Chains A and B, each alone.
Chain A
Amino acid sequence: SQTIHQWPATLVQPVGSPLSLECTVEGTSNPNLYWYRQAAGRGLQLLFYSVGIGQISSEVPQNLSASRPQDRQFILSSKKLLLSDSGFYLCAWSERVSGNTIYFGEGSWLTVV
């Protein structure tokens, strides 16, 4: 069966520090991969999605970036965090064919102080 795992689960970072969140998917090949952000008590904002290695589409201009160095690995990064980057970050995957269920990782709580 397919599993998705992201880490770290929680982190507290100072303003201006770098960020790296990592996500891996097991049990499937060529998945679509996504990064969503959820501010406290708010909805799900799509940040990035990827349909293949090295293929990244950005939905919201910001100081975050994403990379997909391997088929089942998706990384969210920032060189310098802002206070507004705080939130709940969710990695997700779906099968390559459109119209398939999207499954979320456990999430990473980021607090920028």
Chain B
Amino acid sequence: GENVEQHPSTLSVQEGDSAVIKCTYSDSASNYFPWYKQELGKRPQLIIDIRSNVGEKKDQRIAVTLNKTAKHFSLHITETQPEDSAVYFCAASLTSGTYKYIFGTGTRLKVLA
């Protein structure tokens, strides 16, 4: 069935360093790939997204890259800050007429001051 794998499950970085989270999807028909940030006890919030006709997108310290051939996409956070500490989820939109979104299992990012 449809699947999105996300790695790593936990990631600790020093403040100011970069963090990279990777996801792989199985359905080649997927065309939309959002990333969400979830702080403890709160709802997931969209931080950046990318569509299949684009290879890279950047928004200040956050960037996402997409490799359609390999069916993987990555989140890059540069100059990390303590407030970046949260759980990050990737997702892939399955387009086979069902409009489903399948989420990765999440990455707990800790930025150490």
Q: Mark B21-41, 1 if CB is under 8 A from A, else 0.
A: 000000000011010000000
Report whether A32 and B49 are in contact in the complex, using a CB–CB cutoff of 8 Å: no
| Interface residue from B32, B43, B103 paired with A100 (Cβ < 8 Å) | B32
Q: How far is the CA of A51 from the CA of B32 in the complex (A)?
A: 18
B31 and A99 within 8 A (CB): yes
Provide the bound-state CA to CA distance between A34 and B98, in Å: 12
A46 and B43 in contact, given A101-B34, A101-B49 (Cβ under 8 angstroms): no
Interface pick from B56-64, B68-76, B77-85, B89-97: B89-97
Closest to B40 in A: A41
Q: Tally chain A residues at the interface, Cβ within 8 Å.
A: 23
Given contact pairs A43-B106, A44-B44, A90-B43, A102 touches B101 in the complex (Cβ within 8 A): yes
Which residue on A lies nearest to B95, using beta carbons? Answer: A98
CB contacts (< 8 Å) of B105 on chain A: these are: 42-43
Residues of B within 8 A of A51 (CB): 98-99
The residue of chain A having its C-beta at the shortest distance from the C-beta of B101 within the complex is A102
> In the bound complex, do residue B100 and residue A46 qualify as a contact, i.e. CB atoms below 8 Å apart?
yes
Chain A residues 34-58 with CB under 8 Å of chain B are 34, 36, 42-44, 46, 49, 51, 57
Question: Which chain B residues have a beta carbon within 8 Å of chain A's beta carbons?
Answer: 31-32, 34, 42-46, 49, 51, 89, 91, 93, 95, 97-106
Which residues from chain A sit less than 8 Å from chain B, CB to CB?
Answer: 32, 34, 36, 42-44, 46, 49, 51, 57, 90, 94, 96, 98-107
Known: A49-B98, A99-B32. 8 other contacts (CB 8 A): A34-B101, A42-B105, A49-B100, A99-B95, A100-B32, A102-B91, A103-B46, A107-B42
List of 7 A-B pairs having minimum Cβ-Cβ separation, nearest first? A99-B32, A104-B43, A43-B105, A44-B103, A98-B95, A98-B99, A32-B99
